[in-house]
């Protein structure tokens, strides 16, 4: 099983990004490629789409961090064709009430059966929740572009975005890592 896991570089006033800190823990694993993505509306998806062009993956897990949730890892159900931000991305760009792609679908949904997956993770005691908005900043943009690319190419590659908390008091880094490992083992046992 070939898996691609991505995490973002730091942004805002943070010196690390938990998504990259977790992604890189999987660097040495067999069959897993890991890549670090810039927090850039313009460039983030190019990094992933280039990787998808070079190699066939069964599963792509995109990771990002969010300050809006402390108590659980968010399994993002969908991405919307929209960007709007109060803070600049790492290129200094502030999006204002814009579409990501003109005349394109309003949303794309994760191609994983995330209800089943979430139930499985909860049974194991992981702190997870399905959420229905990945926001309107770069994470949503990356997710939208990747899902659009996969659908447009009739790809069988499954994709999911996970938002990890910035704060690690309730959900530790180890717990985030274990949650991701559980998702991979679920996928291994019963490919979606």
What is the full DSSP assignment across the chain?
--EEEEEEPP-TT-S--HHHHHHGGGTTSTTEEEEEE-S-TTTHHHHHHHHHHHS--SEEEEEEEESS-SSSEEEE-EEES-B--SS--TTS----SB-SSTT--SEEE-SS-HHHHHHHHHHTT--EEEES---SSHHHHHHHHHHHHHHHTT---EEEEEEEES--SSS-HHHHHHHHHHHHHHHHHS--
Out of 4, 39, 78, 180, name the contact with ligand PCA by CB under 6 A: 39
Residues of span 77-96 touching ligand PCA by CB under 6 A: none
Site string for ligand PCA, 128-147 (x = CB under 6 A): -------x-xxx--------
CB of residue 132 to ligand PCA, shortest distance in Å: 14
How many residues line the site for ligand PCA (CB under 6 A)?
A: 12
Binding of residue 38 to ligand PCA (CB under 6 A) = no
Catalytic annotation present for 163: yes
Nearer Cβ to ligand PCA, position 17 or 118? 17
Binding of residue 5 to ligand PCA (CB under 6 A) = no
Catalytic annotation present for 76: yes
CB of residue 32 to ligand PCA, shortest distance in Å: 20
Catalytic annotation present for 139: yes
CB 88 within 8 A of CB 182: no
Nearer Cβ to ligand PCA, position 62 or 120? 62
CB of residue 125 to ligand PCA, shortest distance in Å: 25
CB of residue 155 to ligand PCA, shortest distance in Å: 24
Out of 3, 4, 8, 78, name the contact with ligand PCA by CB under 6 A: 8
Rounded distance, CA 177 to CA 132, Å? 22
CB of residue 58 to ligand PCA, shortest distance in Å: 24
Catalytic residues: 76, 139, 163
């Amino acid at each position: 099983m070939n898996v691609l896991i991505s995490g973002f570089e730091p942004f805002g006033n943070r010196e690390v990004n938990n998504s990259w800190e977790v992604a890189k823990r999987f660097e040495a694993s067999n069959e897993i490629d890991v890549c670090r993505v810039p927090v850039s509306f313009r460039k983030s998806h190019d990094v992933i789409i280039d990787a998808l062009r070079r190699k066939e993956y069964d599963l792509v897990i995109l990771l990002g961090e969010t300050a809006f949730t402390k108590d659980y890892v968010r399994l993002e159900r969908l991405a919307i064709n929209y960007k709007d931000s109060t803070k600049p991305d790492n290129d200094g760009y502030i999006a204002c009430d814009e579409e990501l792609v003109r005349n394109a679908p309003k949303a794309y949904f994760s191609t994983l059966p995330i209800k089943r997956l979430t139930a499985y993770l909860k049974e194991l005691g992981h702190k997870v929740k399905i959420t229905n908005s990945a926001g309107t900043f770069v994470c949503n943009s990356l997710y939208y572009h990747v899902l659009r690319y996969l659908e447009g190419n009739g790809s069988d590659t499954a994709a999911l975005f996970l938002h990890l908390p910035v704060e690690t008091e309730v959900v530790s880094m180890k717990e985030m890592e274990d949650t991701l490992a559980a998702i991979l083992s679920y996928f291994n046992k019963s490919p979606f």
